[in-house]
Amino acid sequence: MGHSAGGTLAALLGVVDDPALFMKDCPYPLPTARRLRGVVPFTGTLDYILRVSGYGSADMAQVVTYLGGAPDQVPDTWKQASAITWVDSQDPPFLLIHGLKDTTIDPEQSRSLAAALQKAGVEVELLLLPDANHGDIVRSEQAFQAVAAFCARLWP
């Protein structure tokens, strides 16, 4: 589970089958056994290409620095950084949570990943909270209850 950038990373952990591509310079190994039972991204960037039009100039500059270039310069990197790229039928269940008043990350990010997961046959729930913005979402009682119910199903 994660919020914002943490949601982006949580989603990637759920969908990337072989993380070796991302572990080159990391001194900490991931567990070898697939122990992930479910994923709960709150308001993550799940498709960097879809998000391009939603970046302000300062945000875009940060993402370009983070990804090592603009989408037209390093398109494969932008694609690889997007959880939606890696979706397949072997992915664990997802609970995607997004506020409809989020002006930092468009709720279309969660809608789009939910559709891709569903198309792949992955169990997915999409919770869109009408009155939550980017920060409020983590304090939402409705989101908390959804996470508790989701986890209870995964760890009976």
Question: Which DSSP helix (H) or strand (E) runs through 97?
Answer: strand 94-99
Going from N- to C-terminal start, the domains of the chain cover: 2-11+37-47+82-154
d(CA 76, CA 71): 8
d(CA 99, CA 28): 34
Predicted local confidence at residue 34, as pLDDT:
63
Which is more confidently placed, 35 or 25?
A: 25
Q: Report how far apart, in Å, the C-alpha atoms of 102 and of each of 80, 134, 148 are.
A: 25, 5, 23
Question: Which DSSP helix (H) or strand (E) runs through 48?
Answer: helix 48-51
Predicted local confidence at residue 60, as pLDDT:
77
Residue 73: exposed, middle, or buried by beta-carbon count in 10 A (0-12, 13-18, 19+)? exposed
Fold for the domain defined by 2-11+37-47+82-154: Rossmann fold (3.40.50)
Instruction: Summarize pLDDT for 90-122 with one digit per residue, the tens.
Output: 999 999 999 999 988 899 999 999 999 999 999
Name the pTM for this structure.
Answer: 0.89
Instruction: Summarize pLDDT for 26-79 with one digit per residue, the tens.
Output: 888 776 666 789 999 999 999 988 876 666 666 778 888 989 998 899 999 999
Which is more confidently placed, 156 or 127?
A: 127
Predicted local confidence at residue 91, as pLDDT:
95
Predicted local confidence at residue 61, as pLDDT:
82
Torsion of CA 1, 39, 30, 70, to 10 degrees: -80
